[in-house]
């Protein structure tokens, strides 16, 4: 199955889901945040997974996206939804570019820690300057409903559908990017910056481009997170913990794969929910909920460590192995033996 | 004029003393980074665990010395356990994977600490007087002075350990070149275990001093955020850098908050330290004392 | 004995080095090296371990900055070569320690060698329209041709990290060739190969020159191969050029014989440990 | 059956199929989005412990409210907004539906405003929440009971006025406000400025960046400013560190006045001796001597159903806040039952109960809470209910009330609140209700 066909199939299933089932818990508590986090992780994966630039500032960029969208809807009434999304992503991308400048000089943990400057500075600035929150007395903003073509995305399913559409479109574009010459350039500077420079990859341009595109996606993810999911924007919601969460998603899901962002997000969203629901279901009601939650935290931490140990390439690789095992015939038709490759898009790397 | 100068000195001294406290946390990071290349984010939760253990034992009527001894043993065990169960299976993996693993570990330790001792907030009294001290009209915290002295003693003991003992020499050999160390027959796992145990001890000292300053509670683990800019400034792999970096960050942070803060509305401490570190890095990409990786092509 | 400058930089030369010196913290790695590579020439640089051969290539590619001297590439003269302009100046190189992108496939690695020729916008590439589409097709066609030329067609989809050493060396050559360089710098392309593989590689290099018309600068230890393959040979020892000339001239040069047979140096034919 | 349905909800398939299975006797259900883990666990365990203890008391002692049993379940949020939202979605599927939501978290409360308004269930934000939700015309479902940040500010300044010998003596005095670097901390900045203008005192407001574990710079600034009083608008670890650093820089602790999130045992204890003499505002006195607490100790803890692990925390600030919150919720239901009948009420009906919640001092005394809190009078337009405040002083081990019940200057604040709620209404396209006055 080619990657694009797979994407279409999953999208069709996801889009058809509300026809079958419409309970709001599924959409409002699981799928919508899952989509928003997946998109953020996708953005971070382009930067960290593909281009090798570790960032701990993702949640700051989500915040920038969210605040941009809020101010755009507020200050330019009637701005179409598509424009809001594009502009919010664009503003985030521009700021991401600035915070990407140190990457030209720093690497590894030095770069990672320097992105924390972005994290703390953005949080401070959004909190400090009342303009960003329309001088709201409490600084916590209630996000207005997004509208397009006279339709208000208000019900859980509508907000899910909107998120799905945005995420699918951007994922398709990110997928195309990852297969393009520019996508190869990202990997080149990650794997061997010197060699990349020698063969003519512009390291400056490529790194900044990685920050630009990554921030764009994360910014849009921030809009979805605040407008489609929480429907409130508060700077405290975009803390370092969220940045870590997004980083976890790509490391556990699979670095430098598109599907890793989704698998990882599913893991990170569903694991705590699953454990918490399971605990609530299995244990007697009198059971101390504090003890339960702390135990869950221990379990969650242990599972993360365990997955890191047993699966170096993330759940994406694990899934791929299981898939191959399930379909032994197909794996034989890997194009190793083919003398000439079919057109580039499909063959540069056969899977998402 | 005199008044202003005295105030400036007060701020500076306060900043330097705070800086010592940052260094204390940063050293725990450096020890581990130097030998195994891991940025151990679980350091914060280890600090919490150590302090929580001591304070909970104290509240149950255990004498101070015994409580510290028990916690010490606990921290050594935890340090070695992390090395054995988490880091060793992950050897040769990317630094970012190791970092994420220590984040996972910090969840486990935080959960376990509260499971064991509860989520309550405690006061920790080390019996160190904290009335202000006036030296030449300049106000100095006596607690911070004592804390700085303790931190300095710890650094001295650690240095002596690494300079004078066999294990210490082995540690330095490993830090210099793991492959060479392996080649001459040093047992890496044993050294790693020692280093992790040592970082457990450092966490205990940091936990006690910070615990006395903040109270022992969940947010104690957040002191690591104060240590990160110190690490960047001083270099992840330099103990001396952690100390000098701590002092520099402490002073810069306080001076900026007092003199620069009012211009932009205050509260800039949270990011200013990072900005200082970052600005410095642009001049020296591996910090004050950090080593530049050599690339062979 | 120091060989006098036997050739002067000419505008038509692919590469000219003038009095290049290089020092690492007080230790001299290269001393006043001058060298000219004529178009279409295969030029070998030989010398014992630590003679400064790789350093010279790294100076040419701008990875090391010489303390003095000038490098003329494709008619442009530099005090320090800007690495990022290398490919645009028509220069491609391989590395002593293979510098491929390990998790990418052979085809992707080779396609990356074409980066310098890509002019389409990122948006165009994502949408796959117009120029980007044409470029992509062109890259694929060229890659296919080169992979066939280097007998790599059977492994195009394999991640390079799964290939044996000899094949990886060849992939690196393919990545260099796809850029259609006017000057090809090969840093020990045959290190660690068997005699058969070396002969094969020598053929590839010769064919590459004949087929693509590139000048080649080659570092190699195997004197036998070098003698058969090169048009001219420069010999380095202790960072100095001690001989320069045709294989025949070099073979009989007394300084060269001293350097290779003298006590401090390792035997010539031993492949260098990398 | 509930276990099974919860499990299925866990995998999020077919939740609605089973959600409607439990339609038995009359019950009034409270979803508790509690937090017993994480940085704020101390507050969460106390508050939700007190709330549950009171609900238990009503069930055990009275057999519920007029025979309608009170039920609840807990969902852990760790004080994180998205977990609060997940809990909301999880718990709102319960049948019968929720009576009222009590998250005790500003962030979670904000995320729920749209949701509870659509689902027509009241949201109680006792002592916290949006100031402008006091305006019930714009926020029909939100109830910041007893106190909002503006009234708190007014109450604190009034108290400082009494300390300096009358509100008119504030003129020329200097007050420093040390606030937490967050939306919460910043919320009262304009109110302090306004009151400074009105009463002629000087105010300097100083931010402490989150989490507030380093305050040397701020306290040296305070030392230079030399204020008469320092107001501590703190949060979590910032509070003990403020008290400790005050001691370090020689500022007298009895001239530090804590706000409503700086007023618990957890804020003072970690500071040790440095906290002795510290004063803080509260809407409910601490201590276990009030009849209602005695009954809880006897009836609930006596039968082993007490919620606090550590019995020493009975009567602590958060525990008593939880109990007061329990009283207000239960009384709202009682009020609503008088109108709609002694049966399971819908959220909309409970909302009516809150909007007509009027507990005067006599009724408070009858509930065994005389001295625990003063009174409340919620109306359609005023969802705060004119709660009074008092001040308590820390003696190193416990709080002691040191002032009368003080009424904040509501009339002064109301126009600012209405301006803010009007702007919210405009932003969201809400037409304010007519409250008929």
pLDDT digits (tens, 9 = 90+) for B191-243: 888 889 999 999 999 999 999 988 898 888 889 998 999 998 988 888 888 99
D366 touches chain B (CB under 8 A): no
CB pair distance less than 8 Å for B14 and D211: no
- What burial letters (b/e) apply to D267-277, b meaning 16+ CB within 10 Å? bbbbbbbbbbb
pLDDT, residue A279, reads 78
Chains touching C by CB (3 or more pairs below 8 Å): A, B
In the predicted structure, residue B80 carries a pLDDT above the cut 50: yes
Structure tokens at D24: 């038995």
A293 touches chain D (CB under 8 A): yes
Pairwise CA distance, residues B104 & C77, whole Å = 54
Stretches in chain D below the pLDDT threshold 70: 1-24, 437
C108 touches chain A (CB under 8 A): yes
| Same domain membership, residue C252 and residue C148 | no
In chain C, pLDDT over 90 holds for what percent of residues? 52
- CATH of A27-333 among 1.10.10, 1.10.1060, 1.10.3470, 1.20.950: 1.10.3470
Pairwise CA distance, residues B138 & B148, whole Å = 18
- Kindly report the CATH number assigned to the domain that includes residue D193: 3.40.50.2300
Alpha-carbon torsion (B153, B155, B156, B158), positive or negative:
positive
CB pair distance less than 8 Å for A113 and B286: no
Boundary-marking domain end, from D282, D313, D345: D282
**Position B267 in a domain:** no
Boundary-marking domain end, from C179, C209, C229: C179
pLDDT, residue B229, reads 92
Pairwise CA distance, residues D250 & D220, whole Å = 10
Chain D residues with CB under 8 Å of B144 CB are 248
**Position D67 in a domain:** yes
Chain A residues with CB under 8 Å of B111 CB are 294-298, 301
What domain count does chain C have?
2
Which residue in chain B is spatially nearest to A193 when comparing CA positions?
A: B295
pLDDT, residue B169, reads 78
User: Residues 6 or more apart from A77 whose CB is under 8 A from it?
Assistant: none
In the predicted structure, residue C140 carries a pLDDT above the cut 90: yes
**Position C25 in a domain:** yes
CB pair distance less than 8 Å for B219 and D213: yes
DSSP per residue over B28-90, as a string? HHHHHHHHH----TTHHHHHHHHHHHHHHHHHTT--HHHHHHHHHHHHHHHHHHHIIIIITTT
Q: What are phi and psi of D358, to 5 degrees?
A: -135, 105
**Position B184 in a domain:** yes
* Predicted confidence (pLDDT) per residue in C13-70, tens digit: 789 999 999 988 778 889 999 999 999 999 999 988 888 899 999 999 999 999 999 9
| Same domain membership, residue D322 and residue D265 | no
Q: What are phi and psi of D37, to 5 degrees?
A: -130, 160
CB pair distance less than 8 Å for B90 and A296: no
**Position B291 in a domain:** no
Which residue among D217, D266, D309 sits closest to B11, beta carbon to beta carbon?
Answer: D217
**To 5 degrees, how large is the angle CA A255–CA A257–CA A263?**
85
* Predicted confidence (pLDDT) per residue in A31-44, tens digit: 999 999 999 999 99
| Same domain membership, residue C170 and residue C148 | yes
Which structural domain range is residue B106 located in? 27-224
* Residue D311 CB neighbours (<10 A): 11
CB pair distance less than 8 Å for D14 and A21: yes
Structure tokens at B166: 């066999």
User: Residues 6 or more apart from D316 whose CB is under 8 A from it?
Assistant: D46, D264, D265, D286
| Same domain membership, residue D154 and residue D268 | yes
| Same domain membership, residue C77 and residue C6 | yes
What domain count does chain D have?
2
- Kindly report the CATH number assigned to the domain that includes residue C75: 3.40.50.300
| Same domain membership, residue C75 and residue C106 | no
76-135 in C: which are within 8 Å (CB) of B? 95-97, 99
Pairwise CA distance, residues A88 & A133, whole Å = 15
pLDDT band at C251 (very low <50, low <70, confident <90, very high): confident
Q: Do chains A and B touch (3 or more CB pairs under 8 A)?
A: yes
Chain A residues with CB under 8 Å of D107 CB are 140, 232, 234, 236-237
Pairwise CA distance, residues B92 & A47, whole Å = 23
**Position C96 in a domain:** no
User: Residues 6 or more apart from A39 whose CB is under 8 A from it?
Assistant: A166, A167, A170, A171, A217, A218, A220, A221, A224, A261
The mean pLDDT of B268-278, rounded to a whole number, is: 88
| Same domain membership, residue D179 and residue D312 | no
| Same domain membership, residue D365 and residue D241 | no
CB pair distance less than 8 Å for C115 and A181: yes
Task: Name the average pLDDT for chain A.
Answer: 85
Closest CA to A264 of A218, A319, A226: A319
B115 touches chain C (CB under 8 A): no
Q: D238-248 and D216-225 are packed helices; what angle lies between their axes, rounded to 10 degrees?
A: 50
CB pair distance less than 8 Å for A173 and C126: yes
Chains touching B by CB (3 or more pairs below 8 Å): A, C, D
Which structural domain range is residue C77 located in? 1-90+181-274
Task: Name the average pLDDT for chain B.
Answer: 87
Structure tokens at C206: 């010769």
B1 touches chain C (CB under 8 A): no
Which residue in chain B is spatially nearest to C97 when comparing CA positions?
A: B297
97-126 in B: which are within 8 Å (CB) of D? 111, 114, 118-125
Chain B residues with CB under 8 Å of C97 CB are 296-297
pLDDT, residue D23, reads 44
**Position D397 in a domain:** no
Which residue in chain A is spatially nearest to C176 when comparing CA positions?
A: A199
Alpha-carbon torsion (D162, D168, D173, D179), positive or negative:
positive
D338 touches chain B (CB under 8 A): no
* Predicted confidence (pLDDT) per residue in A47-71, tens digit: 999 999 999 999 999 999 999 999 9
Task: Give the CA distances from residue D14 to residues A21, A28, A282, in Å, rounded to whole numbers and listed in that order.
Answer: 8, 15, 18
Q: SS3 sequence, C83-101?
A: HHHCHHHCEEECCCCCCCC
Q: Do chains D and C touch (3 or more CB pairs under 8 A)?
A: no
D370 to chain A, closest Cα gap in Å = 32
Instruction: Give the total residue count for chain D.
Output: 437
A120 to chain B, closest Cα gap in Å = 5
**Position D19 in a domain:** yes
Chain C residues with CB under 8 Å of A337 CB are 154
Task: Give the CA distances from residue A271 to residues A302, A316, A336, D82, in Å, rounded to whole numbers and listed in that order.
Answer: 12, 16, 38, 14
**Position B131 in a domain:** yes
| Same domain membership, residue D194 and residue D143 | no
Pairwise CA distance, residues A218 & A92, whole Å = 8
Contact D4, A281 (CB under 8 A): yes
CB pair distance less than 8 Å for D224 and B122: no
Boundary-marking domain end, from C179, C203, C226: C179
**To 5 degrees, how large is the angle CA D346–CA D347–CA D349?**
65
Element (H, E) at B226: helix B224-234
Which structural domain range is residue D272 located in? 149-282
7-26 in A: which are within 8 Å (CB) of B? none
Structure tokens at C165: 């050493």
Structure tokens at C112: 């990356």
B146 to chain A, closest Cα gap in Å = 31
| Same domain membership, residue C111 and residue C37 | no
A20 touches chain D (CB under 8 A): no
CB pair distance less than 8 Å for A308 and B281: no
| Same domain membership, residue C210 and residue C169 | no
**Position D175 in a domain:** yes
* Residue A335 CB neighbours (<10 A): 17
CB pair distance less than 8 Å for C58 and B297: yes
| Same domain membership, residue C174 and residue C185 | no
* Residue A266 CB neighbours (<10 A): 18
**What is the Cα Rg of chain B in Å?**
20
The mean pLDDT of A275-300, rounded to a whole number, is: 78
Question: Given the structure tokens 């303390």, which residue do they identify?
Answer: C67
Task: Give the CA distances from residue A160 to residues A16, A31, A230, B103, D180, in Å, rounded to whole numbers and listed in that order.
Answer: 12, 7, 12, 31, 35
DSSP per residue over D155-216, as a string? HHHHHHHHHTTSGGGGTT-EEEEEEESSHHHHTTHHHHHHHHHHHT-EEEEEEE-TT----H
B262 to chain A, closest Cα gap in Å = 12
**Position D358 in a domain:** yes
Q: Which of A167-176, B250-259, C7-16 has the least mean pLDDT?
A: C7-16
What domain count does chain B have?
1
Q: What is the pTM of this model?
A: 0.90
In the predicted structure, residue A210 carries a pLDDT above the cut 60: yes
| Same domain membership, residue C78 and residue C108 | no
Element (H, E) at D394: strand D390-394
**Position C175 in a domain:** yes
Q: Which one of C131, C157, C181 would you mutate to disrupt binding with A, by most A Cβ within 10 Å of its Cβ? A: C157
Chain A residues with CB under 8 Å of D79 CB are none
pLDDT, residue D106, reads 85
Boundary-marking domain end, from C179, C196, C221: C179
Q: Which one of A277-286, B143-152, B181-190 scores highest in mean pLDDT?
A: B143-152
* Predicted confidence (pLDDT) per residue in A328-349, tens digit: 544 333 333 332 233 333 333 3
In chain A, pLDDT over 70 holds for what percent of residues? 90
CB pair distance less than 8 Å for B100 and A108: no
| Same domain membership, residue C266 and residue C145 | no
């Amino acid at each position: 199955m080619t990657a694009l066909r797979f994407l279409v199939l999953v999208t069709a299933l996801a889009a058809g889901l509300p026809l079958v089932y419409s309970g709001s818990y599924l959409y409002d508590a699981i799928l919508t945040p899952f989509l928003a986090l997946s998109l953020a992780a996708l953005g971070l994966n382009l930067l960290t997974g593909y281009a090798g630039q570790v960032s701990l500032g993702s949640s700051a960029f989500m915040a920038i996206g969210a605040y941009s969208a809020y101010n755009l809807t507020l200050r330019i009434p009637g701005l179409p939804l598509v424009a809001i999304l594009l502009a919010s992503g664009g503003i985030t991308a521009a700021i991401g570019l600035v915070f990407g400048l140190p990457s030209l000089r720093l690497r590894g943990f030095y770069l990672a820690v320097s992105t924390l400057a972005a994290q703390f500075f953005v949080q401070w600035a959004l909190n400090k300057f009342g303009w960003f929150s329309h001088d709201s007395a409490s600084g916590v903003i209630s996000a207005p409903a997004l509208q397009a073509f006279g339709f208000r995305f208000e019900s859980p399913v509508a907000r899910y559908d909107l998120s799905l559409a945005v995420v699918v479109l951007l994922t398709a574009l990110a997928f195309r990017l990852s297969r393009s010459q520019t996508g190869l350039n990202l990997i080149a500077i990650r794997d061997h910056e010197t060699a990349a420079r020698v063969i003519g990859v512009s390291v400056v341009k490529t790194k900044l481009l990685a920050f630009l595109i990554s921030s764009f996606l994360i910014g849009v993810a921030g809009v979805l997170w605040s407008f489609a999911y929480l429907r409130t924007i508060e700077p405290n919601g975009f803390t370092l913990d969220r940045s870590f969460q997004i980083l976890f998603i790509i490391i556990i899901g699979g670095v430098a794969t598109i599907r890793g962002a989704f698998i990882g997000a599913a893991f990170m969203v569903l694991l705590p929910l699953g454990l918490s629901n399971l605990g609530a279901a299995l244990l007697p009601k009198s059971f101390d909920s504090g003890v339960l939650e702390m135990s869950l935290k221990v379990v969650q931490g242990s599972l993360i460590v365990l997955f890191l140990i047993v699966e170096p390439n993330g759940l994406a690789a694990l899934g791929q192995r299981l898939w191959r095992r399930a379909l032994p015939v197909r794996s034989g038709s890997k194009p190793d033996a083919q003398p000439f490759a079919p057109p580039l898009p499909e063959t540069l790397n056969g899977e998402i | 004029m005199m008044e202003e100068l005295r105030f400036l000195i007060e701020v500076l001294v306060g900043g330097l003393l705070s800086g010592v406290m940052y260094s204390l946390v940063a050293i725990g990071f450096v020890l581990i980074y130097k030998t195994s290349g891991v940025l151990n984010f679980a350091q914060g939760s280890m600090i919490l665990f150590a302090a929580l253990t001591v304070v909970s034992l104290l509240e149950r009527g255990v004498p101070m010395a015994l409580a510290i001894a028990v916690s010490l043993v606990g921290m050594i065990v935890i340090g070695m356990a992390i090395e054995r169960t988490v880091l060793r299976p992950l050897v040769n993996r990317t630094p970012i994977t190791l970092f994420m693993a220590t984040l996972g570990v910090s969840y486990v330790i935080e959960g376990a600490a509260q499971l064991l001792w509860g989520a309550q907030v405690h006061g920790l009294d080390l019996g160190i007087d904290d009335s202000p001290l006036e030296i030449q009209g300049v106000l100095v915290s006596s607690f911070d002075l004592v804390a700085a002295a303790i931190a300095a003693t710890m650094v001295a003991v650690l240095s002596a350990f690494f300079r004078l003992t066999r294990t210490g020499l082995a540690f330095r050999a490993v830090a210099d070149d793991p492959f060479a160390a392996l080649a001459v027959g040093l047992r890496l796992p044993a050294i790693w275990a020692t280093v992790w145990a040592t970082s457990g001890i450092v966490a205990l000292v940091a936990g006690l001093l910070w615990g006395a300053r903040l109270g022992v509670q969940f947010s104690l683990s957040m002191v690591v955020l104060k240590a990160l800019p110190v690490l960047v400034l001083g270099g992840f792999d330099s103990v001396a850098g952690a100390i000098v970096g701590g002092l520099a960050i402490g002073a810069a942070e306080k001076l900026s908050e007092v003199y620069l803060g009012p211009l932009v509305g205050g509260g800039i401490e949270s990011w200013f330290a990072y900005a200082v570190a970052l600005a410095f890095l642009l001049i020296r990409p591996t910090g004050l004392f950090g080593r530049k990786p050599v690339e062979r092509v | 004995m120091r060989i006098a400058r036997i050739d002067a930089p000419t505008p038509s030369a692919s590469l000219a080095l003038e009095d290049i010196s290089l020092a690492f913290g007080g230790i001299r790695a290269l001393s006043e090296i001058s060298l000219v590579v004529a178009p279409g020439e295969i030029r070998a640089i030989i010398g014992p371990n630590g003679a400064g051969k790789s350093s010279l290539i790294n100076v040419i590619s701008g990875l090391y900055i010489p303390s003095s001297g000038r490098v003329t590439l494709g008619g442009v003269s530099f005090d320090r070569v800007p690495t990022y302009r290398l490919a645009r100046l028509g220069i491609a190189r391989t590395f002593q320690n293979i510098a491929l992108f390990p998790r990418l496939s052979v085809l992707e690695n080779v396609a990356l060698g074409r980066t310098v020729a890509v002019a389409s916008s990122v948006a165009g590439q994502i949408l796959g329209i117009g120029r980007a589409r044409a470029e992509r097709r062109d890259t694929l066609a060229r890659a296919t041709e080169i992979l066939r030329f280097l007998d790599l067609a059977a492994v195009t989809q394999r991640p390079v990290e799964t290939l044996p050493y000899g094949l990886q060396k060849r992939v690196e050559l393919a990545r260099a060739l796809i850029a259609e360089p006017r000057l090809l710098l090969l840093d020990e392309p045959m290190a660690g190969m068997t005699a058969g593989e070396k002969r094969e590689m020598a053929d590839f290099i010769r064919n590459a020159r004949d087929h693509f018309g590139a000048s080649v600068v080659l570092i190699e230890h195997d004197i036998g191969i070098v003698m058969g393959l090169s048009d001219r040979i420069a010999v380095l020892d202790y960072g100095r050029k001690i001989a320069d000339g045709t294989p025949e001239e070099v073979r009989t040069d007394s300084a060269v014989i001293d350097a290779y047979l003298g006590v401090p140096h390792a035997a010539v034919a031993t492949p260098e440990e990398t | 059956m509930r276990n099974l349905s919860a499990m299925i909800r866990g995998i999020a398939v077919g939740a609605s199929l089973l959600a409607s299975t439990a339609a038995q006797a009359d019950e009034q259900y409270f979803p508790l989005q509690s937090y017993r883990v994480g940085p704020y666990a101390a507050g969460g365990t106390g508050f939700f412990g007190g709330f549950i203890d009171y609900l238990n008391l009503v069930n055990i002692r009275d057999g519920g409210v007029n025979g309608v049993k009170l039920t609840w379940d807990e969902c852990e949020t760790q004080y994180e907004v998205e977990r609060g939202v997940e809990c909301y979605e999880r718990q709102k599927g319960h049948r019968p539906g929720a009576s009222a939501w009590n998250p005790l978290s500003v962030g979670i409360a904000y995320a729920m405003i749209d949701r509870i308004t659509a689902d027509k269930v009241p949201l109680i934000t006792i002592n916290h929440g949006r100031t402008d939700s006091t305006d019930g015309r714009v926020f029909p479902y939100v109830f910041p009971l007893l106190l909002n940040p503006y009234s708190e500010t007014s109450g604190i300044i009034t108290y400082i006025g009494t300390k300096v010998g009358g509100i008119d003596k504030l003129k020329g005095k200097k007050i420093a406000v040390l606030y937490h670097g967050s939306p919460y901390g910043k919320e009262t900045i304009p109110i302090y400025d306004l009151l400074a203008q009105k009463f002629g005192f000087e105010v300097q407001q100083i931010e402490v960046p989150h989490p507030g574990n380093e305050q040397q710079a701020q306290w040296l600034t305070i030392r230079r400013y030399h204020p008469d009083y320092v107001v501590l608008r703190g949060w979590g670890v910032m509070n003990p560190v403020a008290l400790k650093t005050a001691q370090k820089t020689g500022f007298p602790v009895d001239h530090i006045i804590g706000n409503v999130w700086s007023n618990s045992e957890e804020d003072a204890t970690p500071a040790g001796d440095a906290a002795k003499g510290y004063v803080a505002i509260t809407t409910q006195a601490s201590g276990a001597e009030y009849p209602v607490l005695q009954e809880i100790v006897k009836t609930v803890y006596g039968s082993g159903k007490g919620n606090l692990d550590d019995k020493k925390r009975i009567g602590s600030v958060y525990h008593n806040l939880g109990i007061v919150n329990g009283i207000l919720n239960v009384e709202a239901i009682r009020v609503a039952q008088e109108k709609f009948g002694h049966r399971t009420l819908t959220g909309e009906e409970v909302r009516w109960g809150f909007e007509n919640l009027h507990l005067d001092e006599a009724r408070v005394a009858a509930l065994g809470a005389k001295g625990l809190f003063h009174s409340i009078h919620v109306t359609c337009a005023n969802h705060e209910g004119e709660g009074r405040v008092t001040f308590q002083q820390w003696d190193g081990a416990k709080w002691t009330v040191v002032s009368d019940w003080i009424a904040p200057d509501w009339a002064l604040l109301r126009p600012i609140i209405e301006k803010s709620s009007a702007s919210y209404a405009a932003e969201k396209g809400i037409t304010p209700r007519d409250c008929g006055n």
